[in-house]
C-alpha cells in the first residue's frame, strides 16, 4: 500500500471512529444524569466561579489557604471589612464543597454577627450569612441537602427563634422586606373582622405564579404595553426594575412627582398622571405589572419558586405567611428533602435533620406564627408574635404522618413514642386556644383524640372539666400585691394587642384581667384589703405608665381605642393608684387560704 | 513544647547557624579572595551624570525585557478587577476599605516582587552576557554602577507606584460615585423624588460636616433637609421609604467620611514610669530572701513589670476604681466641624451574660462604662456612658472643646457594669488611642504610598547586592525567600513558639534562645515596619515622623550597608579572566 493511500485510510478510520464515538455522547450524558454525575447548569450570577475554578487549578490550594488564614486573622483582630468577600472567594474556589458554604454562612450569621454592637449591623451579618448559602451556595449545589438544612436552620433559629437578643429586629426587618415584596393590602381591604395582616395570611400566590417570567412576554400584552408607553410620557419607565412598584408606593403615600417638567406644567402633568393611574381601564394592566414585578422580586431577590410555594400551600391546606422566617425555613427544608431524594446514601443525617426542621417550623408557627406589625414598624418597633391556630391541624397531621415514617416499632397509639410528650403538650395548648377563640368543635375533636389514645385523669370530667383544670390559676386568690401585678400584666398584654390592632385578642385579655379583678374584689377576706380604685382606673394607669414600652404612634393608637387622652411628653400621669400596698395579717392570710381551698373545691368558673 | 522537641530545635538551630556561617565565609572568600578582580575608587565628581546614565540604561533594559511591562500589566488588570468585584462587607464603607486595601496592598506586593526580579537581574545578566564590559572598561567607579542600578530599579518602582496609587485613589472616588448614583436612583424610585431633587440631595452629601449622630440628628439628615427644603422629620420619613440596606449604607457613608476618607493622627495612652515601684518590690523580695529558686533578677523584673502594668490596665467595677489618662497632642483646632474620637478595646475574660437592670437590657458581651472628656471641674467637660462591646475595637467621637489650649486631653474611664466584671485595656498595644484629623485623605494616600516605597527601596538594595555575585535565578530565589520570611515573621515566631504566649510563667532558656533567634532573623531581614495600608483604610496618617524614622532605619542605614557590601563584592569580582 502506498504511503499516501495509507495516510488517507487512517484519516478515514479516524473520522469513522470519531463519528461512532459522537453517537454515544447523548446516551452517556443520559446515564450521567441518571446517576447524578452531571453538574447542573450554572445560573448567570454564579458562573464566575465556574471560570475561576479551572483557571486556578494550579494555584487554588495555596490561595484558598491564604484566604482562610487572612479571614481568620482579620476576624481575630476584629477587622471584618472584607469578611463577606473573603467568604465568597473561599467558597467560589471550592464551589462543590458544601461544607465550606455551610461553614461560611454559619460563621457570618452566628460568629461575626455577635461581634457587632448595633442591631442593624448584626442583622446585616445574619443576612449575609443566609444569603451566601441561598443566593450562591444552593444554585451551585442544588441537590445538596446539607445546604438547604443550614439555610433553613439559620432562618428558623437565628432569625425566627428567641435566642438572639436582637431577634425582634431581625423578625421586623424580615417581615418588612417581605411586605415590601408582596405589597400592601389593597385599598379598603381592612374592615371589621379583617386585619392588614390577614392579607399576607391569605396571600394569592397563584396570581404571582401565573405571571410571565420574562418582561418581553408581559409586554406582548397590548394593554400592558399601552399602559407602559403612557407612563413613559411622565418619565416613568416601568420596564425597569422597581420603577413601577416605587410609583405605586409614592402614589399611596402622596409623594408622587412628575419627572422632567417644572413649574405649572408639572402640576398639570401630575394631575394627568394620577388620572392615568386611576383610570379603571388601566387597572388590568396595572395588576399584571404589579404581579410581574412582585413575582420577579420573589424569584430574583428571594430565589424562591412561586409554583413550589403554591404547591406547598395546597399540600398543607394552609397559606403560609411568608413574613415569617419559619415559613421560609419550611420552604427550604421541604425543597432540601425533595432535592436530596434518590441520593445513594443509605442514611443521610442531613435529610433526617432537614425533616426535623420542617417539624420544628410548624411547631414554632403554631406557638407564635401569627405576626402583627406595629403602625410604627418602619421606625423600628418589633412585631408581635402570637399563636397561629391555623397551624394546629397541619401540625397535628405532621405528628401523625411523621410518626408513621420514623417509627420503627409500632406503639399502641398513632403517635410515635418519641413524639408523645411533645404531641400531648401541643394538643392541650391547641384545645385551650380553640376554646379561647370560641372554636369549640375543634377543641372537642382534639380533646376526644387525646382522651381516646392518651387517656389521663384530667380528661375524666370531659372538656369543660379539663378547661377548668387548665384555668385553675385564674381562679386562685392571691394577696393584694400579687393579684394587682397579675391584673396589670394582663392589661398590658391587652394594650399590646390593641397597639398592634389585634383588637379581638386585646378584648380577651381585658376580659381575663377584669375576671381577675372581680374575683379578687369578691373573695378577698377583709374589706381593708379591697382595691380602692376601679378597673377602668387601673387600665388608665397601666396605659400611661407603660407608654414608654411602646412607640408614640402605638401609644396614641391604644389611647384612641380606649378613649383616653394621650399624655404629652414630660407630663404626669393623671391617675395614681395608691403606692402603699396593705400587708396581710396572719389571720387574713389564713382566711384567704381557706377561701382558696373552697374555691378550688367548688370548681366554680 | 517537650524536652525532645527543644533538643531537636537546638540541633536544627545549630545546624542552620553552621550552614549560614559556611555560606557567609564562602561569599566573603569569593568576594575578597586573591582572584577577586579589580578595585575601583570612590570618586564623587561627575557621579550624578554617570549614575543617571546607568539608571537610564537599566530602566530601558528592564522595559525591553518586558519585566516592568509584565508586572505593570498585572497591577493594571488587578485594580479594575478589584474595582468591579469589591464588595467588602456589603456596605459602602467596607467596599471602599476593601478596594483601598486590596489595590494598594496588591500593588505593593507586586512591586516588591518586581523589585526582586528586576534588581536581581540588573547586574547578574549583564555579567553573564558580558555586557558589563561596556561599562566596566570605562572609568566608572563600581559604586556608581551599583548606585545606577539601584536608581534604575527604583525609578521603575516609583513610576509604577505613582500610577497605581493614582488608580487606587481614582477607584476609591469611583466606588463612592457608584454608591451616590445608586442612592440617586433609589431616592427617585423608592423616595419618589424627581431626578433633579434626587441629584441635589445626593450632592448635599458633600456638605456634611461634624461628628456623627444617630437618627434625625444625623448631619446627613440635616444636609438633606437643607437641600430639599424639608424638615428633618420629613427627611427621616423619606429615608424610611428607602430599603433598609440603603439607610444603613448612608450611615456607613457618614462613617466613611469620618473614619476612612480622612487623615488622622493617633495619640497612644502612655504608661506611667513604674520602674521605681518595680525596683522597690524586687529589692524588698531580695531582702526578705523570698526569691524563688533559679530566678534571675531580670526575670524577676520582667514578672513584676508585667504584674504592675496588668494591674494598671485592669479596671475593676465601681466608681472608686475610675482611671484617668492624659494625652499630649498638638494645639487643637476647635470648632463644631472638628472630629476627634477615642478608639478602645475593652478586654473581658470569657462570656459576659446579658442582664436586665431597671427595665433596661444590658446586652451580652458588653460592659456598661462611662467615659469623661476633659477636666471635670471645667464647663467643657463632657461625659457619656452606655454598654460597650467587649473584645473588639470601638470608636467613640468626643467633643473637641474638651481639649486644653496646650493640647492636653484628659480622658476618664469608669467601669460601672452591674455584672461586676473587671475590664482591661492593653495600653501598650493601641488599647486606647485618641484620634484627630490632621490633614486630607489625599495626604494620607501619599504618605501610604511613600511608606510602601521604603521596603521596596530596601529590597532593591538586597537585590542589587545579590546580583553582584549570584546568578539571576539563584539571587531571585534567595531574596524572594528572604522577602517572604520577612513578611511573615509573626507567623515564623508563632511556628517556632517564640512569642510571649509560649513563654509560660517560667521563661526557660530554650524559649529565650528561640526568641533571640527569631528576633535576630527579624532584625536582619526587616525591610520596614509600617503597615501603611492598614493605617490608610482606617483613615490614619502614617505620619511624616514615622516615614522619616523608617527611611532612616531601612533605607539609609540598612540599605546603605547592603549597598556598600554590594560595591565591595563587585570591586573584588572577576568580571573577565585575563588570558595571556
**How close A277 gets to chain B, by Cα (Å)?**
15
What sign does the dihedral A538-A544-A546-A547 (CA atoms) show?
positive
**How close B442 gets to chain A, by Cα (Å)?**
21
For residue B219, the surrounding DSSP H or E stretch is: helix B219-228
Q: What's phi and psi for B253, nearest 5 deg?
A: -65, -40
Q: Up-side HSE of residue A439: CA atoms within 13 Å toward CB?
A: 15
Residues of B in contact with A114 (CB under 8 A): 364-365
Residues within 8 A of B (CB atoms), A 216-235 only: 235
Query: Residue range A155-179: average pLDDT?
Result: 92
Euclidean distance between CA atoms B381 and B407, whole angstroms: 15
- Chain centroid, CA B117 distance in Å: 25
ipTM above 0.85, yes or no: no
**How close B395 gets to chain A, by Cα (Å)?**
11
C-alpha cell of residue A377 = 414598624
DSSP A135: I
**How close B193 gets to chain A, by Cα (Å)?**
7
Euclidean distance between CA atoms A559 and A557, whole angstroms: 6
Residue reference for cell 464543597: A97
Q: B294, B394 in Cβ contact below 8 A?
A: no
C-alpha cell of residue B58 = 537599566
Residue among B195, B244, B361 minimizing CB distance to A176: B244
Range with lowest mean pLDDT among A514-523, A578-587, B113-122, B268-277: A578-587
A180–B contact, CB cutoff 8 A: yes
Alpha helices, H only, A239-282: 243-252, 263-278
A76–B contact, CB cutoff 8 A: no
Report field, pTM of the whole predicted structure over 0.80 = no
Q: Do B192 and A82 touch (CB under 8 A)?
A: no
Interface A–B counts its CB contacts (< 8 A) at: 95
**How close A518 gets to chain B, by Cα (Å)?**
29
| Minimum CA–CA partner of B90 in chain A | A84
Residue among B90, B189, B389 minimizing CB distance to A124: B90
**How close A244 gets to chain B, by Cα (Å)?**
8
A379–B contact, CB cutoff 8 A: yes
Residue among B98, B197, B392 minimizing CB distance to A78: B392
Euclidean distance between CA atoms A250 and A244, whole angstroms: 10
A237–B contact, CB cutoff 8 A: no
Euclidean distance between CA atoms B528 and B523, whole angstroms: 10
Residues of B in contact with A165 (CB under 8 A): 354, 361, 363-364
Residues of B in contact with A242 (CB under 8 A): 189-190
Q: Do A246 and B189 touch (CB under 8 A)?
A: yes
C-alpha cell of residue A131 = 444569603
Residues of A in contact with B260 (CB under 8 A): none
Query: Residue range A372-387: average pLDDT?
Result: 88
Residue reference for cell 533559679: B294
| Minimum CA–CA partner of B388 in chain A | A117
B425–A contact, CB cutoff 8 A: no
For residue A179, count CB atoms less than 10 angstroms from its CB and return exposed for 0-12, middle for 13-18, buried for 19 or more.
Answer: buried
What is the full per-residue pLDDT of chain B (580 aa) written as tens digits? Answer: 455 556 777 788 788 888 888 888 876 666 555 454 454 566 777 888 989 999 999 988 888 877 788 888 999 999 999 999 888 888 899 999 999 999 999 999 999 999 999 999 889 988 888 888 888 888 788 889 999 999 999 999 999 999 999 999 999 999 999 999 999 988 887 887 888 889 999 999 988 888 888 888 889 999 999 998 888 888 988 888 888 888 888 999 999 998 899 888 888 877 778 888 888 888 888 888 777 777 777 778 878 888 888 888 899 998 888 988 888 877 666 665 678 889 999 998 878 888 887 777 788 888 999 999 988 888 888 889 888 888 888 888 888 788 887 888 889 999 999 888 889 998 877 889 999 888 889 999 999 999 999 999 999 999 999 999 999 999 999 999 988 888 888 777 777 777 777 766 556 677 777 788 888 888 888 888 888 999 999 999 998 899 999 999 999 999 999 998 998 888 877 777 766 6
C-alpha cell of residue B255 = 462613617
Residues of A in contact with B192 (CB under 8 A): 246, 249-250, 253, 255-257
**Where do the DSSP E strands lie in B418-464?**
423-424, 432-439
B193–A contact, CB cutoff 8 A: yes
The residues that bridge with B202 in the sheet, in sequence order, are none
Euclidean distance between CA atoms B430 and A77, whole angstroms: 12
B221–A contact, CB cutoff 8 A: no
Contacts of A595 (CB under 8 A, 6+ apart): A477, A523, A525
pLDDT score of B1: 47
The SS3 call for residue B345 is strand
pLDDT score of B37: 47
Residue among A85, A176, A258 minimizing CB distance to B98: A85
| Minimum CA–CA partner of B193 in chain A | A257
Q: A309, A207 in Cβ contact below 8 A?
A: no
Amino acid at each position: 500500500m502506498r504511503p499516501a493511500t495509507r495516510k488517507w485510510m487512517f484519516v478515514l478510520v479516524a473520522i469513522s471512529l470519531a463519528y461512532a464515538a459522537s453517537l454515544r455522547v447523548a446516551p452517556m450524558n443520559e446515564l450521567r444524569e441518571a446517576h447524578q454525575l452531571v453538574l447542573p447548569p450554572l445560573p448567570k450570577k454564579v458562573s464566575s466561579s465556574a471560570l475561576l475554578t479551572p483557571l486556578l487549578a494550579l494555584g487554588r490550594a495555596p490561595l484558598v489557604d491564604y484566604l482562610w488564614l487572612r479571614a481568620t486573622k482579620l476576624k481575630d483582630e476584629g477587622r471584618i471589612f472584607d469578611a463577606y468577600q473573603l467568604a465568597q472567594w473561599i467558597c467560589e474556589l471550592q464551589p462543590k464543597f458544601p461544607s465550606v458554604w455551610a461553614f461560611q454562612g454559619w460563621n457570618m450569621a452566628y460568629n461575626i454577627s455577635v461581634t457587632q454592637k448595633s442591631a442593624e449591623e448584626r442583622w446585616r451579618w445574619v443576612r449575609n450569612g443566609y444569603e451566601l448559602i441561598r443566593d450562591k451556595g444552593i444554585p451551585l449545589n442544588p441537590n445538596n441537602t446539607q445546604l438547604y438544612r443550614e439555610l433553613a436552620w439559620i432562618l428558623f433559629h437565628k432569625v425566627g427563634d428567641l435566642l438572639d437578643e436582637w431577634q425582634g429586629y431581625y423578625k421586623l426587618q424580615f417581615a418588612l422586606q417581605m411586605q415590601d415584596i408582596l405589597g400592601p393590602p389593597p385599598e379598603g381591604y381592612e374592615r371589621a373582622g379583617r386585619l392588614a395582616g390577614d392579607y399576607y395570611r391569605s396571600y394569592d400566590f397563584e396570581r404571582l405564579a401565573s405571571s410571565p417570567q420574562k418582561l418581553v412576554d408581559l409586554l406582548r400584552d397590548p394593554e400592558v404595553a399601552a399602559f407602559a408607553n403612557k407612563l413613559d410620557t411622565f418619565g416613568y419607565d416601568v420596564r425597569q426594575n422597581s420603577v413601577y412598584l416605587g410609583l405605586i408606593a409614592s402614589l399611596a403615600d402622596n409623594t408622587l412627582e412628575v419627572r422632567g417638567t417644572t413649574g405649572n406644567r408639572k402640576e398639570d402633568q401630575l394631575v394627568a398622571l394620577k388620572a392615568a393611574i386611576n383610570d379603571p381601564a388601566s387597572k388590568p394592566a396595572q395588576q399584571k405589572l404589579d404581579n410581574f414585578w412582585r413575582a420577579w422580586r420573589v424569584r430574583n431577590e428571594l430565589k424562591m419558586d412561586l409554583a413550589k410555594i403554591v404547591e406547598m400551600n395546597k399540600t398543607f391546606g394552609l397559606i403560609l405567611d411568608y413574613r415569617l422566617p419559619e415559613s421560609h425555613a419550611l420552604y427550604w427544608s421541604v425543597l432540601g428533602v425533595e432535592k436530596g431524594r434518590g441520593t445513594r446514601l443509605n442514611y443521610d443525617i442531613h435529610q433526617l435533620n432537614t425533616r426535623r426542621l420542617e417539624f420544628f417550623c410548624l411547631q414554632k408557627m403554631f406557638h407564635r406564627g401569627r405576626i402583627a406589625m406595629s403602625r410604627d414598624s418602619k421606625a423600628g418597633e418589633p412585631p408581635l408574635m402570637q399563636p397561629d391556630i391555623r397551624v394546629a391541624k397541619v401540625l397535628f397531621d405532621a405528628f401523625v404522618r411523621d410518626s408513621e415514617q420514623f417509627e420503627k416499632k409500632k406503639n399502641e397509639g398513632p403517635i410515635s413514642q418519641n413524639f408523645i410528650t411533645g404531641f400531648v403538650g401541643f394538643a392541650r395548648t391547641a384545645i385551650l386556644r380553640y376554646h379561647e377563640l370560641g372554636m369549640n368543635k375543634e377543641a372537642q375533636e382534639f380533646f376526644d383524640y387525646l382522651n381516646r389514645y392518651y387517656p389521663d385523669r384530667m380528661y375524666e370530667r370531659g372538656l369543660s372539666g379539663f378547661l377548668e383544670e387548665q384555668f385553675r390559676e385564674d381562679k386562685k386568690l392571691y394577696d393584694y400585691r400579687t393579684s394587682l401585678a397579675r391584673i396589670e400584666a394582663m392589661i398590658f398584654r391587652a394594650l399590646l394587642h390593641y397597639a398592634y390592632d389585634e383588637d379581638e385578642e386585646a378584648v380577651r385579655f381585658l376580659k381575663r384581667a377584669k375576671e381577675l379583678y372581680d374575683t379578687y374584689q369578691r373573695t378577698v377576706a377583709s374589706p381593708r384589703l379591697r382595691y380602692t380604685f376601679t378597673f377602668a382606673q387601673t387600665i388608665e394607669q397601666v396605659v400611661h405608665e407603660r407608654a414608654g414600652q411602646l412607640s408614640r404612634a402605638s401609644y396614641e393608637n391604644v389611647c384612641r381605642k380606649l378613649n383616653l387622652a394621650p399624655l404629652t411628653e414630660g407630663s404626669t400621669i393623671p391617675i395614681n393608684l395608691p403606692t402603699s400596698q396593705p400587708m396581710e395579717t396572719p389571720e387574713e392570710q389564713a382566711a384567704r387560704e381557706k377561701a382558696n381551698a373552697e374555691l378550688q373545691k367548688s370548681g366554680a368558673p | 513544647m517537650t524536652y525532645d522537641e527543644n533538643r531537636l530545635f537546638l540541633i536544627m538551630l545549630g545546624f542552620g547557624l553552621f550552614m549560614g556561617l559556611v555560606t557567609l565565609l564562602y561569599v566573603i572568600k569569593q568576594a575578597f579572595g586573591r582572584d577577586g578582580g579589580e578595585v575601583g575608587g570612590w570618586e564623587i565628581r561627575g557621579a550624578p551624570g554617570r549614575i543617571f546614565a546607568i539608571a537610564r540604561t537599566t530602566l530601558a533594559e528592564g522595559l525591553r525585557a518586558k519585566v516592568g511591562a509584565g508586572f505593570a500589566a498585572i497591577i493594571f488588570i488587578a485594580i479594575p478587577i478589584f474595582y468591579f468585584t469589591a464588595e467588602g462587607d456589603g456596605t459602602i464603607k467596607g467596599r471602599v476599605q476593601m478596594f483601598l486595601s486590596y489595590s494598594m496592598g496588591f500593588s505593593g506586593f507586586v512591586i516588591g516582587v518586581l523589585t526582586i526580579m528586576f534588581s536581581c537581574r540588573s547586574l547578574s545578566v549583564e555579567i553573564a552576557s558580558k555586557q558589563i564590559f561596556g561599562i566596566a572598561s570605562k572609568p566608572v567607579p563600581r559604586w556608581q554602577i551599583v548606585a545606577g542600578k539601584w536608581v534604575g530599579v527604583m525609578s521603575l518602582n516609583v513610576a509604577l507606584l505613582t500610577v497605581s496609587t493614582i488608580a487606587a485613589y481614582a477607584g476609591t472616588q469611583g466606588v463612592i460615585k457608584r454608591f451616590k448614583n445608586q442612592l440617586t436612583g433609589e431616592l427617585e424610585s423608592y423616595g419618589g423624588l424627581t431626578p433633579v431633587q434626587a441629584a441635589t440631595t445626593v450632592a448635599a452629601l458633600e456638605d456634611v460636616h461634624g461628628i456623627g449622630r444617630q437618627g434625625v440628628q444625623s448631619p446627613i439628615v440635616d444636609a438633606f433637609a437643607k437641600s430639599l427644603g424639608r424638615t428633618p422629620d420629613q427627611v427621616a420619613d423619606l429615608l424610611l421609604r428607602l430599603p433598609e440596606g440603603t439607610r444603613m449604607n448612608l450611615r456607613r457613608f457618614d462613617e466613611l467620611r469620618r473614619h476612612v476618607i480622612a487623615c488622622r493622627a493617633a495619640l497612644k495612652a502612655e504608661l506611667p514610669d513604674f520602674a521605681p515601684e518595680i525596683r522597690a518590690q524586687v529589692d524588698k523580695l531580695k531582702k526578705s530572701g523570698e526569691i524563688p529558686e533559679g530566678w534571675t533578677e531580670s526575670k524577676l523584673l520582667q514578672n513584676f513589670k508585667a504584674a504592675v502594668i496588668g494591674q494598671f490596665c485592669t479596671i475593676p467595677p465601681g466608681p472608686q476604681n475610675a482611671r484617668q489618662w492624659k494625652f499630649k497632642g498638638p494645639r487643637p483646632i476647635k470648632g463644631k466641624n472638628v472630629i476627634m474620637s477615642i478608639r478602645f478595646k475593652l478586654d473581658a475574660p470569657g462570656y459576659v451574660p446579658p442582664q436586665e437592670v431597671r427595665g433596661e437590657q444590658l446586652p451580652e458581651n458588653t460592659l456598661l462604662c462611662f467615659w469623661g472628656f476633659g477636666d471635670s471641674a471645667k464647663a467643657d467637660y463632657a461625659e457619656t456612658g452606655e454598654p460597650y462591646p467587649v473584645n473588639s475595637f470601638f470608636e467613640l467621637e468626643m467633643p473637641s472643646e474638651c481639649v486644653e489650649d496646650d493640647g492636653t486631653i484628659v480622658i476618664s474611664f469608669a467601669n460601672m457594669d452591674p455584672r461586676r466584671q473587671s475590664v482591661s485595656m492593653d495600653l501598650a498595644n493601641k488599647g486606647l488611642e485618641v484620634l484627630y484629623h490632621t490633614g486630607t485623605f489625599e495626604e494620607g494616600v501619599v504618605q501610604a504610598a511613600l511608606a510602601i516605597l521604603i521596603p521596596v527601596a530596601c529590597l532593591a538594595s538586597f537585590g542589587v547586592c545579590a546580583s553582584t555575585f549570584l546568578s539571576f535565578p539563584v539571587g531571585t530565589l534567595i531574596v524572594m525567600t528572604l522577602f517572604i520570611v520577612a513578611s511573615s515573621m509573626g507567623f515564623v515566631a508563632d511556628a517556632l513558639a517564640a512569642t510571649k504566649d509560649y513563654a509560660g510563667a517560667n521563661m526557660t532558656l530554650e524559649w529565650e534562645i528561640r526568641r533571640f533567634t527569631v528576633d535576630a532573623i527579624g532584625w536582619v531581614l526587616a525591610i520596614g515596619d509600617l503597615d501603611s495600608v492598614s493605617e490608610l483604610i482606617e483613615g490614619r496618617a502614617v505620619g511624616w515622623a514615622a516615614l522619616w524614622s523608617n527611611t532612616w532605619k531601612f533605607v539609609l542605614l540598612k540599605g546603605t550597608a547592603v549597598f556598600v557590601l554590594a560595591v565591595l563584592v563587585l570591586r573584588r569580582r572577576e568580571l573577565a579572566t585575563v588570558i595571556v
